[in-house]
Structure 1
């Protein structure tokens, strides 16, 4: 199991890349794998062999306009970890922050 964060965008599409990025995000969402998109990255969770084809299809979709493509990929690979790490990693940090607040009395 792994959580991958990636950013894919055309390098020569002008000021806005929203249309191309939206197509990449659509492909990720249609994969059925757990995912989320923020202003900088799309995260997707699954096994290596199921995630990488999705990243490839998203990259190819961005490249269809004949653009040079930039792809940034980061992975947290956790053999044997249970599914749900895309959410539980955040939950653990939030729990720690809440515990820190209760220990110091800050709200």
Structure 2
């Protein structure tokens, strides 16, 4: 499965309104998990089976919780049993379609 998620503290931003330190704590958890992942300006996407992916999302959310009294979590999942490597394969199929 692929899970794209965004997690940020509510009320725990810096003087400039940025939450980058809290988001960095979440991304660090994801990267240390060893699961395939990709981070862009809006979401981090992680690939694995249900239990391992959601364990990482939970740990990342808990890491952000240290930065404020509330945490906002937005999550989208693509559940395709038996498929792996979709983190890059989906994009490769899209690029091939654009070139056709």
TM-score, length of structure 1 as denominator length: 0.88
Is residue 2:12 matched to residue 1:13?
yes
Rounded to whole Å, the distance in 1 between the matches of 2:69 and 2:85 is 35
- When residues 11 and 66 of structure 1 are mapped into structure 2, their CA distance, relative to the original with a 3 A threshold, is closer
Rounded to whole Å, the distance in 2 between the matches of 1:63 and 1:56 is 11
Aligned to 1:62: 64
Is residue 2:48 matched to residue 1:49?
no
SS at match of 1:78: coil
SS at match of 2:69: coil
Aligned to 2:41: 39
Q: Deviations over 1:34-65 (max 9, x none)?
A: 00100000000000011001000000010023
Rounded to whole Å, the distance in 2 between the matches of 1:65 and 1:7 is 15
For structure 1, the residue ranges without an aligned partner over 5 or more in a row are: 100-107
For the aligned residue pairs, the C-alpha RMSD in angstroms reads 0.8
Larger Rg: 1
For structure 2, the residue ranges without an aligned partner over 5 or more in a row are: none
Aligned residues: 97
